[in-house]
Structure 1
Amino acid sequence: MSSPRTQISARELTEEIVPHLDLIEKLISTTLTSLIETTDSAEERERREDQKRRFELMLLSIRMNVASVTRRHASVIRAIQNGDRTDSSILQLDENEAIAMDNAKTLYEQVKAHTRT
């Protein structure tokens, strides 16, 4: 397994990671909740509920680390959000934040895959 990246661009954080987290949250809420509510199988319901809990826990951890990065780099993030399109600042990540950014990408792919099945 490769080491997580220790840097991320401010633009990637604000334009990819955060919107993907919002989409993940929506997909978890709508898709898995729907599957849980419509299944007749107790085993399938339990499996989907466990899956939903795992996704939500990972999402919570990721959001906490995104908040940490955002707090530490608030001025850069604000510049991006205010339309400063010339800013290509690189944000330094601590170990937990780096893992969380990798987990965000992995979770996004997993959730997308589960919505297709």
Structure 2
Amino acid sequence: MADSKSTSSAGIPVGVDLALWERATPAQQEVLRRIAVQRERLRARAAAHAQARALASTQETRVRPDAPLVERIVSFTRLHPIAVAAAGAAAVVVGPRKLFRLGSVLLPWILKLQQKSRS
């Protein structure tokens, strides 16, 4: 049941006190083996979390202007969560009718600006 990484060549789990292992009954040795496997799993999990945190901290912390619109929106949301939450709260307060009316005015204007910036 023990994994080959957590067991030495003598069959003793890595990290278990040799004197304790020798005095233990077979049932106790099984428990010690399970503890060693679990500790190894927890170490691997902690290492994976540390690696994920390191990777996240090295990611770009700005919005690329040449990125697709969806990527720019996601980047902006990650960088400014409070501003996005405030905009969402304002949208709820304003209501759907006024938002649709505002969108019908702003959308053609935004599309026109995007066409000018591409040319």
**TM over 0.5, yes or no?**
no
Bigger share in strand = 1
